[in-house]
Amino acid sequence: MAKSILQSHSYRVKSKQEAKQLHAQMIRTRAPTSLVLSVYSNLGLLRESLLIFNSLTSPSYVAWKSIIRCYTSLGLFHQSLLSFARMRASAARPDRDVFPSIVKSCTHLMDWKLGQSLHGSIIRVGLEIDVYTGNALMNMYGKVCMGSVRKVFDEMPERDLVSWNTVIAGNAGNGMYREALEMVREMGGAGLKPDSFTLSSVLPIFAEYVDVSRGMEIHGYAIRHGFDSDLFIGSSLIDMYAKCTMVEKSRQIFDFLPQRDAISWNSMIAGCVQNGLFDEGLRLFRRMLENSIKPRHVTFSSIMPACAHLTTMHLGKQLHGYILRCGFDDNEFISSSLLDMYAKCGRIHIARRIFEKMESPDIVSWTAMIMGCALHGHAHDALFLFQQMKVNNVRPNYVAFVAVLTACSHAGLVDQARKLFDSMVGDYGISPGLEHYAAVADLLGRAGRLEEAYEFISSMPREQERTGSVWSTLLAACRVHKNAELAEKVAENIFKIDPENMGAYVLMSNVYSAAGRWKDAARLRIAMKGRGIRKKPACSWIEIKNKVHAFMAGDESHPKYYEIKEALGVLLERMEREGYVPNTDDVLHDVEEEQKRHLLCSHSERLAIAFGIISTPPGTTIRVTKNLRVCVDCHIATKFISKIVGREIIVRDVSRFHHFKDGKCSCGDYW
DNA sequence: TTAGGGTTAG
């Protein structure tokens, strides 16, 4: 009697309060305790469930089942498996409604051995035909062996929507995109319609393919079926559009989501950062915190590249502190992004320390570290790391070769680079891209092997990749080696592809000036003006007491301008006494020598360095960042300055770091 | 019993 009352009640119980009331009623009617237990466990009330369970001297099958399912649903997978073992020892036989939970626990704990033996038990008791059990098994195999997923799926006598979704997710998760999409089609043939689970497996595929038109088809389907306000679909859509470079669309979806969790915030933040909207990414991150959404580990690896690209150390350091407090510092993704940030912000030693603490660095960690060395001109460290990486059975990929070739190109290791280039193609079958060609071509050119460089660039198989920037490196080399003839040939190639290439105009006009062909130089400058082409303005900045001070070339707007100018005057006098001779080669303007000297002194990096010197105590390291390459004269001058004021001056230009100390620079004057 | 977001790029 009591039992039937309870059974009719139990599925309607929705709150703890109701459950308690029912419990009281059950005690009065002397209902079986295992039923009370199932009411509590279905609500995920572990404390209440355990109180009852532990009072049982010999728990029934129903009692075991309840407690196991309660553990699994709360994510307490170890306890769930432990209870299962105890249940078996007590001779209670497992049945259909306990296996799915157990298999799920196994899956989360990645205990594949136990999972397989469970599969054996399931077959022995003939439960492999059960849909729920089969689905749980497929889900487990989806994380280890797709072959087994197919096998279970093919042998299932009955399949439901979850079965299809599980196979599709398995295929998608294992990079078998074609198969996944094929199954979505087949599923329609079996009379089942894709639901929100299906879509959230499919959307990341189109994100990966950068196929926005098919992504939009899915978006349309989601709208028609009311899935577009689904939290999961929302983040997949945000991600898909962002990966297809349509961040505005991502933002629209984000702004209109009825609710947002940490993952939707993260998708949006990552979307901004991946598309170069670093400030916006950081703004959103702050807003996320203001909204009391706790960042997850993924959030940190998404936001860190923003600090790296903006070279804002103090922010990156704050985040590092946060990461340590959260205990996320052993996460590979976070470590890689952290070491990259430190390297890009000039702290190569900290980057190295983080790298060395990593248990098993993956290809990205190695590459970030190699790139960091390249950035700081530590070419031999980079080459050594590249070897070590291979010894550790990490196979170099496209990006790794970009990094190691960059290291060579920053140190003038031309033959090393050619060997690496050949090995990339011959040993690893990687087809070289623009970046690889650019690095080698740059090296050949600067080594004076101009014709070889010309042939090398001309050998690029894909014409569309022979861009202005690849040719420009050679053009710059032609200027240095004063080969006006080849330069003209190169420039012709550039203007054919990219008639607006401002850098090429400037370089070519420099080539003509250097060769004394003033008329030609003037002709080009007029052409530039006519086309409205202007040089990218130079800008340098320095962080003093967490405040960024920016200087443009010839900038007189800084409140301390007169002190800066005075300091530069004093420095110039001392530099000249030490033997400094201004190098006016880079000064394009047709002006008097005296004015050229003045122009050099007003270069943005020099203003920033002088401001750093007068704003910090003696001995403090000066760190300046510049948006273009350091000019030849400023490089010479900074070496003198470092010696005169006895300070280390670190300048990060657009491609690398220069560490100036005692009158020398870490780049060995090769940059 | 099924789902979404992450690190490296002259």
Alpha carbon of residue A57 to chain centroid: 55
- How confident is the model over A163-184, as pLDDT tens digits? 999 999 999 999 999 999 999 9
Nucleotides of B under 7 A from a protein CB: 1-10
> Percentage of chain A with pLDDT > 70?
96
pLDDT at A346 > cutoff 60: yes
Question: Strand B: which residues 510-529 of A lie within 7 A (CB)?
Answer: none
Provide the residue type at A295 as one letter.
P
Question: Strand B: which residues 81-100 of A lie within 7 A (CB)?
Answer: 100
Residue A143 has phi, psi (to 5 degrees) of: -90, -15
What is the token pair recorded at A65? 């089942």
pLDDT at A1 > cutoff 50: no
| Contact between the CB of A162 and strand B at under 7 Å | yes
Q: Across the strands, what pairs with A543?
A: A548
Distance A74 CA to B6 C1' (A): 25
Q: What is the pLDDT of residue A536?
A: 75
Between CA A664 and CA A415 the distance in angstroms is 26
Q: What is the pLDDT of residue A2?
A: 45
Contact A410, A376 (CB under 8 A): no
Question: Strand B: which residues 232-261 of A lie within 7 A (CB)?
Answer: 232-236, 239, 243, 261
Residue A416 has phi, psi (to 5 degrees) of: -55, -45
Q: Dihedral sign, CA of A64, A67, A69, A71?
A: negative
| Contact between the CB of A625 and strand B at under 7 Å | no
For residue A460, CA distances in Å to A166, A397, A438, A464, A642 come to 45, 19, 10, 9, 43
Averaged pLDDT, A280-284: 97
- How confident is the model over A68-123, as pLDDT tens digits? 999 999 999 999 999 999 999 987 888 888 999 999 999 999 999 999 999 999 99
Between CA A509 and CA A280 the distance in angstroms is 39
Averaged pLDDT, A437-460: 92
- How confident is the model over A531-541, as pLDDT tens digits? 776 677 889 99
Distance A216 CA to B1 C1' (A): 30
pLDDT at A566 > cutoff 90: yes
Averaged pLDDT, A272-298: 96
State the nucleotide closest to A370 in CA–C1' terms: B8
Question: Strand B: which residues 55-84 of A lie within 7 A (CB)?
Answer: 69, 72-73
Averaged pLDDT, A216-234: 95
Between CA A527 and CA A223 the distance in angstroms is 53
In this complex, which residue's CA is closest to the C1' atom of nucleotide B5? A267
In this complex, which residue's CA is closest to the C1' atom of nucleotide B7? A333
| Contact between the CB of A171 and strand B at under 7 Å | no
Contact A542, A606 (CB under 8 A): no
> Percentage of chain A with pLDDT > 90?
71
Between CA A402 and CA A382 the distance in angstroms is 12
Question: Strand B: which residues 375-434 of A lie within 7 A (CB)?
Answer: 397-400, 402-403, 405-406, 409
Closest of A318, A360, A359, A357 to residue A341, by C-alpha: A318
Question: Strand B: which residues 182-221 of A lie within 7 A (CB)?
Answer: 196-197, 200-201, 203-204, 207
Distance A341 CA to B4 C1' (A): 27
For residue A286, CA distances in Å to A335, A381, A470, A574 come to 21, 37, 39, 47
For residue A30, CA distances in Å to A5, A26, A41, A149, A327 come to 12, 6, 19, 46, 49
- How confident is the model over A299-329, as pLDDT tens digits? 999 999 999 998 888 899 999 999 999 999 9
